[in-house]
Amino acid sequence: MHRVLLSALLLSCIAIFSCKQKQPPPVPPTPVNLFTVKAQKVLYYDKYPSTTQALSQVNLLPQVQGYITGIFFTEGAHVRKGQILYEIDKRLYQAAVDAAEANVKVAQGNQVQAQQDADRYVYLNNYHAVAKQQYDHAVIALENAKSQVKAAEEAVKTAKTNLAYSTIYAPFDGTVGFSQVKLGNMVVVGQTILNTISTNDPMAVDFLINEKQLMDFEKIEKGKQKPIDSLFTLLLPNNSLYAHTGKISIIDRAVDPQTGSIRIRLVFPNPDNDLKVGMSCIVRVHNQDAAPQLVIPGKAVVEQMGEYFVFVVKDTILTQHTDSTKKQEADTAAQQGPKPYAFQKKVQIGQTIGANVIIKAGIAEGDRIVVDGVQSLHEGSQVNVGSKKPGGGDSAGNKGQDSSARKIDSSKNK
């Protein structure tokens, strides 16, 4: 009996102790390195993808039909306005001119005859010696003869124009491309493209801006902003800097309602013909804001669903609790004083400058932000300041970037 009671008592004790939950060990502070936000003057450029365009460019199309009998230029060469480029077989058009001129002589002879008849009938009509009908017919015949002379003369002009069109001249100074036809090819009026000629100095460069930036560019165009040296520069496809600076030529008339963008055209000198039509370049616009900017290491920024965040560290005491045990822990923490905790802050980023990024809003000068150990943090994490070994760079973020920093677009505009 005693043995049964002892067993029951032992089982009861085991059940009581098993019902009591074991408290997890406290989470150690996350090791991090911090960066103190400071405002500083920065030099940077807003970058815009762009395409070079010719200020004038035309496709050469024939205005008469025939076979190509002459090509008088070197492909890819610079040509002058009025220079002969192509010649179309002109024999038929020369024959048409000769025939039209002969018709003029015939018409002029008919006019002389009609004039003589009309003069004779006018004289007889004055003495009532001819029928009125014959007199009227003579006058009408003279007018018809004069009209035939004019029609024949206009036919001569048309024939000469067609003859002139058989020779194709350069419409302006520019660079001519590859010939699309060869000697002996038949060309059709308004359909066969012979070649393309375009101007090359100066060269236009087109790019798109957001409509929010339109007012700034209009101020630059109107000269209301203080001019800055090298305001518009150009990065070539090989990432080298173009030797000449540009200026605003045209701001498009309307904003695209679907994209909210508007086209800007710059012009750049091109004396050495380094710029070719259709090149993909990068327009750099010198920073117009001379005020100090908040610049932080790019690796401190975390992207989440298209939004950007940083962890700001503050010395504080967390007093939230739900039971007596956590209340006791909070009271103990209060007695020990404030400790550093990380809190997530949403920020608005600006231009990326190397390994750093400009912050437009969200944090203030003097805030301490986490630059190493960001991936291990969550809202309200306790941190151990200065104990994180930098991952490939210093604590200021001047060397290297972790995976979170690489999510930032290095070509992002303001």
pLDDT tens digits for range 375-411: 878 788 887 777 666 654 443 333 333 333 333 344 4
Q: How far apart are CA 299 and CA 406, in angstroms?
A: 8
Q: Could you give the residue range(s) of every CATH 2.40.420.20 domain in the chain?
A: 26-42+292-407
- Residue 229's pLDDT is 62
pLDDT tens column, 221-280: 887 555 566 789 999 999 999 999 999 999 999 999 999 999 999 999 999 889 999 999
**pLDDT bucket at 95, cuts 50 / 70 / 90:** very high
Given this model, what pLDDT does residue 178 score?
94
Is the model more confident about 87 or about 20? 87
pLDDT confidence of residue 401: 37
pLDDT, tens digit, for every residue of 37-69? Answer: 888 887 778 889 999 999 999 999 999 999 999
46-55+199-286 CATH: 2.40.30.170
Nearest to 194 by CA among 52, 54, 63: 63
Specify the pLDDT at position 379.
83
pLDDT tens digits for range 159-212: 999 999 999 999 999 999 999 999 999 999 989 999 999 998 899 999 999 998
**CB count, 10 Å around CB of 308?**
19
Q: Given pLDDT bands bounded at 50, 70 and 90, which one contains residue 75?
A: very high
Evaluate if residue 325 carries a pLDDT over 60.
no
Work out the average pLDDT over 317-342: 60
Structural fold of domain 26-42+292-407: 2.40.420
pLDDT higher for 325 or 275?
275
Is the domain spanning 60-88+167-198 CATH 3.30.70.2740? The answer is no
User: 153 or 129, which is more confident?
Assistant: 153
Tell me the C-alpha distance between 277 and 54, whole Å.
6
Q: Are 400 and 355 in contact (CB under 8 A)?
A: yes
- Residues of the chain within CATH 2.40.50.100 domain(s) are 60-88+167-198
CATH 2.40.30.170 domain position(s) in the chain: 46-55+199-286
Model confidence over 334-359: pLDDT tens digits? 555 678 888 888 988 887 877 888 88
State the pLDDT at residue 340.
84
Report the 3 state secondary structure along 110-177.
HHHHHHHHHHHHHHHHHCCCCCHHHHHHHHHHHHHHHHHHHHHHHHHHHHHHHHHHCEEECCCCEEEC
Q: Which fold has domain 90-165?
A: Helix Hairpins (1.10.287)
